[in-house]
Structure 1
């Protein structure tokens, strides 16, 4: 297999676990505006969506959403490196994938912070492109983030293109972009949910990469 193959990774729940940093930053944002902090499970159920969408779904009035987003980001940036960890086997997955594929990250997180996190973890050099929330008008499940990533990667028409992600938003984006998707159950999507949106389900990103390598 040559590097005609492209593998795009989601970030949260696929390669990293930043749950603690996310929950803490949401709590800070709600408290800053003297509002009741939603229960952790309600917040976690929205992870993978853009921040503005998450705050809307958590009951914030539309005109106040971007103030909450700003408060969240201000705190998140301070704590994200200390309170984010690589998921088990994630580093091995990226290293293995880089042996036969060009790699990218497609995330609804802010690209700037995502790059900082991956540099901190010693993984950014493996990726040829990273598309974050500020790089697109329409985030996942829209295919635009995948299209943007592919625009920045040279690939022949016959090259295989894969998306690895932990939510149905990742799988729907892959389907809409007409690329192949592999769901992983190590993140925020349940096996039941993922089984409804993907024919391919692996335990983690390493298992997904190993599967792709054998295709």
Structure 2
């Protein structure tokens, strides 16, 4: 039986920091011209749902939906031009597909994520893509992982999660599957060490670690 490997996207396979920041600031400007939100404030929240990100920078709850909607419309326009694959991500996906079944579990909008992976000509390697709109509870809740496994008819005992933030690792722990953290994304090694000591520099090394584990 082949193992299942579930990948996070941002900071694990792709770098869409520029698109995220530009879309976030565009939304802030559209709904009140907020100029006090730094890039660091935004990037520290990447991995969380958009509604949480806007709440974290002090947006009034009554305005969060409007901010999210504006962000999404703008992000979709610029995402392909301002998103790149991380180094060795393509190789990681291809090597993983040789011995495992693959899925994507992200807090990004699933529709836009699928369009991005199709743009990179890599979506064909994945059986499922679970995005924010496909679950009620995003990571670190285990629901996104459970949903992916259910759609793949997969067993927790043979499943792995690869991700760059504590949200990914906590979700894997709560879902009852193994995980490998990568330090090429938004959480640093010190932060990741609070939840796991299995940390690799990138997705390719994470895949190779899983391959050796059999």
Contact 2:149 2:155 in 1 (8 A): no
SS at 1:78 equivalent: helix
- CA shift at 1:156, angstroms? 5.2
Residue 28 (structure 2) aligns with: 30
Residue 196 (structure 1) aligns with: 194
Taking the aligned partners of 2:166 and 2:51, their CA distance within structure 1 comes to 19
Residue 96 (structure 2) aligns with: 97
Summarize the alignment of residues 61-140 of structure 1 with structure 2, pairs less than 5 Å apart.
61-140=60-139
Taking the aligned partners of 1:40 and 1:49, their CA distance within structure 2 comes to 15
TM-score (norm 2): 0.97
- CA shift at 1:34, angstroms? 2.3
TM-score (norm 1): 0.97
SS at 1:207 equivalent: helix
Taking the aligned partners of 1:99 and 1:201, their CA distance within structure 2 comes to 22
SS at 1:130 equivalent: strand
Residue 51 (structure 1) aligns with: 50
Taking the aligned partners of 1:35 and 1:106, their CA distance within structure 2 comes to 33
Taking the aligned partners of 1:156 and 1:176, their CA distance within structure 2 comes to 15
- CA shift at 1:154, angstroms? 2.6
Residue by residue over 1:118-172, the C-alpha shift from the partner in whole angstroms, topping out at 9 and shown as x without a partner, is 0000110000000000000000000000000000113357x52100000000000
CA-based RMSD of the aligned residues comes to 1.0
Taking the aligned partners of 2:72 and 2:89, their CA distance within structure 1 comes to 25
Residue by residue over 1:22-45, the C-alpha shift from the partner in whole angstroms, topping out at 9 and shown as x without a partner, is 000001000001232310000000
Residue 166 (structure 1) aligns with: 164
SS at 1:155 equivalent: coil
Residue 141 (structure 1) aligns with: 140
Structure 2 unmatched runs, 5+: none
